[in-house]
Amino acid sequence: MPKIRIDARLNAQQNAARYFDEAKKFKAKAEGARKAIVDTESKLAKTPELVEIVRPKIRVKEVREKKWFEKFHFFTTSGGFLVVAGKDAKSNELLVARHMEAGDLFMHADITGAPATIVKNGQTAGETDMKEAAQFSACYSSAWKNGLHAVDVYAVTPEQVSKKSHGEYVGKGGFMIYGERRWFRNAQLKLVLFMEETGVMAAPFLSGHAGALITPGRKSKKNVADILAKRLAVPADSLMPLIPGDADLKQE
């Protein structure tokens, strides 16, 4: 039998009242504890659902497979013809050896230090498309770095292009051209930089793209890249390969 402590200073009624008050306190604490246990069990039961709700959604960025021509300079004419130009002697060789096919056209600025340029299916291209391609080829030639604002460009068929010569030395990235050439005189060096879904692009002014127009000029290539990076909201490093050399920004 449990022992009950009685306060000798209190009478029987007062002792009973004291124990009654203490019993109520213990009962309240017990009920509070039981409620806490029930609440905790309820929350634990709902935890998987809560986790599902608050779990952050991770967006997996789709990796786009690059197309073969993206390792070169390239653009698409207003008529839908793909134009691809080499970036250096090595890529000139690669472009012609692996990607020039029957039905294409080969273009080259009439100056030492110019990219081999291919217009895919270019033999069916109209005059407008050809002028756009000629301007593109001119922009990435040494004419830009030499401060020229126009240069002649010619076009020939693949059969007229050869690495073989009759006693002449053909350096890396260079080609022998045989037969009649189709000329595009005074192709102006005007290039437009603009944004597409795949990133920043460069195209000849004649193609009609809206964007930042540049021409050969006095601002350093890096300075121009920094200015356009802010305007187009892209890293300057992504613009550097597209800018042929020192340039001026134009408003047209």
Residues 103 and 43 in one domain: no
Please write the tens of the pLDDT for every residue from 104-119.
999 999 999 999 999 9
Residue 6 lies in a domain: no
Longest CA span, the chain = 134
Residues 202 and 111 in one domain: yes
- What distance in Å separates the CA atoms of residue 129 and residue 172, rounded to the nearest whole number? 29
Q: What is the structure's pLDDT at 82? A: 99
Given a cut of 70, the residues of the chain with pLDDT beneath it are 1-30, 33, 36-37, 40-63, 165-170, 252
Residue 1 lies in a domain: no
Three-state SS for 13-53 is HHHHHHHHHHHHHHHHHHHHHHHHHHHHHHHHHHHHHHHHH
In the chain, how many domains are there? 2
Q: What is the structure's pLDDT at 18? A: 66
Q: Examine the fold and report which residue of 40, 59, 78 is the final residue of a domain before the chain moves on.
A: 59
Q: What is the structure's pLDDT at 41? A: 67
Contacts of 119 by beta carbon, 8 Å cutoff, 6+ apart: 77, 81, 82, 83, 104, 105, 107, 125, 129, 130, 133, 155
Domain that holds residue 200: 70-250
Three-state DSSP class for 55?
coil
**Which H/E stretch holds residue 107?**
strand 105-109
Residues 49 and 84 in one domain: no
Residue 112 lies in a domain: yes
Residue 129 lies in a domain: yes
Q: What is the structure's pLDDT at 65? A: 85
Residue 169 lies in a domain: yes
Residues 85 and 36 in one domain: no
Residue 36 lies in a domain: yes
Percent of the chain with pLDDT over 90: 66
Q: What is the structure's pLDDT at 58? A: 56
Residues 50 and 167 in one domain: no
Closest listed residue to residue 149, CA positions, set 251, 74, 247: 247
Residues 40 and 130 in one domain: no
Q: Examine the fold and report which residue of 19, 36, 59 is the final residue of a domain before the chain moves on.
A: 59
Residues 194 and 86 in one domain: yes
Q: What is the structure's pLDDT at 173? A: 76
Residues 93 and 167 in one domain: yes
Lookup: tokens for 134? 């000629």
Residue 161 lies in a domain: yes
Residues 139 and 211 in one domain: yes
Residues 220 and 162 in one domain: yes
Q: Examine the fold and report which residue of 39, 59, 79 is the final residue of a domain before the chain moves on.
A: 59
Please write the tens of the pLDDT for every residue from 67-94.
999 999 999 999 999 999 999 999 999 9
Residue 147 lies in a domain: yes
Residues 106 and 226 in one domain: yes
Residues 40 and 114 in one domain: no
Lookup: tokens for 116? 């081999």
